[in-house]
Structure 1
Amino acid sequence: MSTFEPLSSDFYGYENALADREKAFIVDLRAFLETEVRPLVDDLWSSAEFFPRSVVTGLADLGVFGQPWEETRRFENSAVFRGWVALELARVDASLATLVGVQNGLAMGAIASAGSPEQRAEWLPRLASAELLGAFALTEPLSGSDSAQGLHTVARRDGENWIINGSKRWIGNASIGDVTIVWAKDAEDGQVKGFIVPTETPGYTATRIENKQSLRIVQNADIRLVDVLVPEANRLQGSRSFRDTAAVLRLTRTEVAWAAVGNSIGAYEAAAAYARDRSQFGRPIGGHQLVQELLTRSLGNITSSIGLVTRVSQMLDEGVQRDEHSALAKEFTTSRMRETVAWCRELFGGNGIVMDYGVIRYFADAEALYSYEGTREMNTLIVGRAITGLAAFV
C-alpha cells in the first residue's frame, strides 16, 4: 500500500487527524479515482453521459457506499472521515460526489433513519453493494425551498396499499436508478411521509432533463407519478412528518459542504499546476505577484472551509449538531467555493473556458453545489433564526 500523504491544499494538515484505517481507505480511494475516474470525466461531462457501471461497482467494492450505517459499513469510522471521502470524490469530479451523496446519504440515509429494522435489512445491503442504484425524490416543479409546506405530491391510503400521484423535478439517478425514495403528503393527515418505490412500478415515469450545464454527468430527471401503487410495507415506517425528511437532509447537507471544498480544491490544483507550467513574459506565470495572490486567496478559502467542515462533522459524531450548524457549513463553503473557482478560472485566461484544461468543469459544477441541498438564502434563514430566535422564511 502507498504511504498516506495529506493533500498539498490541506495547508494546515487536518487530514493527519484521521485514524490509520481511515487513512488507508483514502489511499485506496485516491488510487481508484486517479486511474479509473479522472481519465474519463472530461469526456463524460462534455457528452453528458453517466459513469460506466465499472465505476459504480468499483466504488461499491472499495466500500464507499454504506459507510455511515451499521448494517453496511466495512469498519468503524468518523463523520470527519466520511467528509474527507466526499471531498476526495469532488476533488476529481463533483458529479461523482453527487452520485455517492444521493446513493449513500439520501437514498440509504432515508431508509437508515426512517425505515424499520426489516426495511433496513432488506434494502441497505443491496444499495451498499450497488446491486441497486437509488434516488431521492423531494423537489417538485412548483415546490423546492418550501417543501415543508408546499408539497403537491399526494399519497392516499387504500387498504394495505398507498396510491401516489404527483410530480418531482431535479431528481438525481431517477432515470437510471432502480429504486426511488418518494416523499408525498398523506391525504388524510397532511403530513409528509416517505415511500420506497421501485422504478419499474406501473405509473412511475422518469424523463432525463436535457441541456443541463452543471453536474452534466449526473442524470437528473423529471418524475411523473400516476396512480402509483405502493404497499404499506414500502412506506418508511419511521417517517411521520417533514421533520423526518429534514433529519436526512441535515446529514447530507454537511457532506455537500465537504464536496464544495473538494470542488474548490480540484480547481485550485489545476490552477497551481498551470501557474507552474504556463510561461508569459519569459517565465512561468506563477512567478508573477497577481497570480500568487489569486492562489493564496484560493488557498485561504479552502483552509478556512476545511476547518469549518471538520468541526461541524465532529459535532455530528458528538451528537450535538443541529440544523443551523449544517446550514452554516453549507452556506459558507459553497459561497467560498464560488469565489475560489472563479479566481482559479481567471488564472487560466482564455484557456480557462475550454475543456482542454478542465478548470471550467469545476467552475460550472460549482453552480449546482451552490444551489442544491438548500440554497444559500434558505440556509441563511435557518442560521438567522438560530441567531435571533425569529423565523423570517416568509
Structure 2
Amino acid sequence: MKMVGGGDHKPRELPPIEGDFYHLGHTLTDDQRALQLKVRTFMENEVKPLVNRYWLKGEFPFEIIPRLAELNVCGVTYEGYGCPHLPFLMEGILAMEMARVDASIATFFGVQSGLAMGSIYLLGSEAQKQEWLPRMQKLQTIGAFGLTEPEVGSGAAGGLTTTAKRQGDGWVLNGQKKWIGNATFADVIIIWAKDLDDGQVKGFLLRKDTPGLDVEKIEDKMALRIVQNGLITLRSCVVQESDRLQNANTFKDTAKVLRMTRAGVAWEAVGCARGAYESALAYTRQRKQFGRPIASFQLIQNHLVEMLSNLTAMQTMVFRLSQLQDEGKLTDEHASLAKVFCTLRTRDIVSRAREVMGGNGILLQYDVARFVADAEAIYSYEGTKEINTLIVGRSITGSSAFV
C-alpha cells in the first residue's frame, strides 16, 4: 500500500496493485495458494532483477535452474517419478505466475515440464519414464520438443518432412526442426518424424551427443529472447529402438501432448497480460503530469479498466478450462478457444499498457516493452490464431474448413 495526499489533506491509502480482480486465487486451497505465492516470490526475487539484462543479450540465466528446481514444481501434474501430482489448475496458475514476470522463463518451463516430460509421461515405455522423468523433474536433465520444421508449422499433422527409416535394431533420422526451445543446451530432444515405411508420425528420444545432430541458435529474435530456440539438422542420426517412444505411433498420439499443453499457453498469455497491466498501473500512479498522477485522468483510467476487464475475462476462462481438464472433459476445441481469446486479448492489454506509459513504454527498464514483444510470440506458437479458430469452427458447425 502507498500513501498519497499533501497540503492540508490527510494522506489516503491507495488500493493494492492486484490483477486478480475477482479474487480467483483465493478459491485455491491453503496449500495451493502457498505454492502460488512461493513461485511468485521466486520470480520477483530471483528472476525479475536479472531478466531485462538477459533478455537484451538474448542469453539464458542458467544460474536460476538449481533454485527453480528447489521449488519442486516440474512435472507438476504427473503421478510418480518424483512429481508433485497436483491438479491441472495448479499447472496453469504456476505458468501464469512465471509469465507475469517473464514469459521466456515460463516458456522454458513449459517446454521442460509440459512438452518434453509430457511426451515421455504420456507416450513413453515404463523403462523410458524411469530413465528420464526423475532427472528431468529435478531439472538435472533438460528436454526439448522438436515438432515444427522450417517449412512445416501449422501443417505438422500431415506434412512433416523429417523422416525415420527402420534399420536393424534402430532408426535413421533425417531432416530439420526449427524454433525448438531449449534445443541449444537440451540433454534430450523429442523428435517427431514420419516413418518412411508406413507414413505415420513417430516420436524419438534423441540424445544430445548423437552423431549427425547439429543445433544452430536462432538469433535476432524480437520476442522471448531468453528462450534459446534452435534450428536442428539431422543427418543420418541413428536412434535405437529402445529410444523410440513406444506409445507414439500416429500424429493422434502427438496431439495428446499438444492438447495437454495448449491450456498452459493460454495461462502464459494471462500471465503476460497481468504483468503488463500491473506494471502500467504502478507507473500511472507514480508518473505525474500537470501536477497530478496520470492515473487520476479519465482517459488513463479508461485504458486501465479496459485492460482489467479483458484480463479478468481471460482469467475466468482459463480457470474453467483447467477445471475441465481436471474433470477429464478437456477437448481440443476447449483449449483452442482459450488460446485464441487469451492471446488476442493479451495483445490488446500490452498495447494499452505501452500507451499509458507514453515514451517510457518503449524502454526495457519499465518491463512493458518486453511484455509487448513477448506477447507476439505467445500469439503464434502452439497453433496460430487461424488454426485454432478453425478447430473451434469445426466443432460448432460440424464442417471442417481445413484445406
Question: Of 158, 163, 168, which residue of structure 2 is paired with 1:154?
Answer: 163
Identical aligned pairs, as a percentage?
52
CA deviation vs aligned residue, 1:2-43 (integer Å, no higher than 9, x gap): xxxx98111111111112221111122122111111000011
Q: Is 2:73 aligned against 1:59?
A: no
Q: Corresponding residue for 2:11?
A: none
Q: How far has the Cα of 1:275 moved from its partner?
A: 0.5
Q: How far has the Cα of 1:101 moved from its partner?
A: 0.3
Q: How far has the Cα of 1:218 moved from its partner?
A: 0.3
Q: Which amino acid aligns with 2:262?
A: R
Q: Distance in 2 between matches of 1:312 and 1:388?
A: 21
Question: Of 95, 114, 125, which residue of structure 1 is paired with 2:104?
Answer: 95
In 2, are the aligned partners of 1:67 and 1:73 still within 8 Å (CA)? no
Question: Of 49, 54, 58, which residue of structure 1 is paired with 2:59?
Answer: 49
Q: Which amino acid aligns with 2:200?
A: Q
Query: Can you give the 5+ residue segments of structure 2 that lack an aligned partner in the other structure?
Result: 1-15
Higher mean C-alpha deviation, range 146-155 or range 117-126: 117-126
Question: Of 261, 275, 290, which residue of structure 1 is paired with 2:270?
Answer: 261
Q: Distance in 2 between matches of 1:47 and 1:334?
A: 26
Q: Distance in 2 between matches of 1:145 and 1:57?
A: 35
Q: Distance in 2 between matches of 1:13 and 1:27?
A: 14
Correspondences of 1:63-142 after superposition (within 5 Å): 63-72=72-81, 74-142=83-151
Q: Corresponding residue for 2:34?
A: 24
Q: Is 2:333 aligned against 1:324?
A: yes
In 2, are the aligned partners of 1:71 and 1:121 still within 8 Å (CA)? no
CA deviation vs aligned residue, 1:335-383 (integer Å, no higher than 9, x gap): 0000000000111111111112111000000000000000000000000
In 2, are the aligned partners of 1:66 and 1:72 still within 8 Å (CA)? no
In 1, are the aligned partners of 2:75 and 2:84 still within 8 Å (CA)? no
Q: Corresponding residue for 2:324?
A: 315
Q: Distance in 2 between matches of 1:209 and 1:254?
A: 26
Q: Distance in 1 between matches of 2:211 and 2:66?
A: 28
Q: Corresponding residue for 1:303?
A: 312
Q: Which amino acid aligns with 1:24?
A: A
Q: Corresponding residue for 1:352?
A: 361
Question: Of 183, 190, 193, which residue of structure 1 is paired with 2:192?
Answer: 183
In 2, are the aligned partners of 1:91 and 1:263 still within 8 Å (CA)? yes
C-alpha root-mean-square deviation of aligned residues, in Å? 1.1
In 1, are the aligned partners of 2:81 and 2:130 still within 8 Å (CA)? no
Q: Distance in 2 between matches of 1:356 and 1:308?
A: 31
Q: Distance in 1 between matches of 2:86 and 2:208?
A: 32
Q: Which amino acid aligns with 2:42?
A: F
Q: 1:278 to 1:72 in 2, by over 3 A?
A: farther
Q: How far has the Cα of 1:72 moved from its partner?
A: 3.7
CA deviation vs aligned residue, 1:157-183 (integer Å, no higher than 9, x gap): 011100000000000010111110000
Q: 1:112 to 1:382 in 2, by over 3 A?
A: same
Q: Distance in 2 between matches of 1:284 and 1:38?
A: 25
Q: Distance in 1 between matches of 2:394 and 2:85?
A: 35
Equivalent pairs, count: 388
CA deviation vs aligned residue, 1:192-211 (integer Å, no higher than 9, x gap): 00000011100010000010
Q: Corresponding residue for 2:6?
A: none
TM-score, with structure 1 as normaliser: 0.97
Q: How far has the Cα of 1:75 moved from its partner?
A: 3.8
Q: Is 2:386 aligned against 1:340?
A: no
In 1, are the aligned partners of 2:17 and 2:278 still within 8 Å (CA)? no
Runs of 4+ displaced beyond 3 Å: 72-76
Q: How far has the Cα of 1:141 moved from its partner?
A: 0.6
Q: Distance in 1 between matches of 2:187 and 2:322?
A: 30
CA deviation vs aligned residue, 1:72-122 (integer Å, no higher than 9, x gap): 455442111110000000000000000000000000000011111111111
In 2, are the aligned partners of 1:71 and 1:124 still within 8 Å (CA)? no
Q: Which amino acid aligns with 2:43?
A: L
Which of 1 and 2 has greater Rg?
Answer: 2
Q: Distance in 1 between matches of 2:284 and 2:57?
A: 28
Q: Distance in 2 between matches of 1:27 and 1:12?
A: 17
Q: Distance in 1 between matches of 2:286 and 2:382?
A: 37
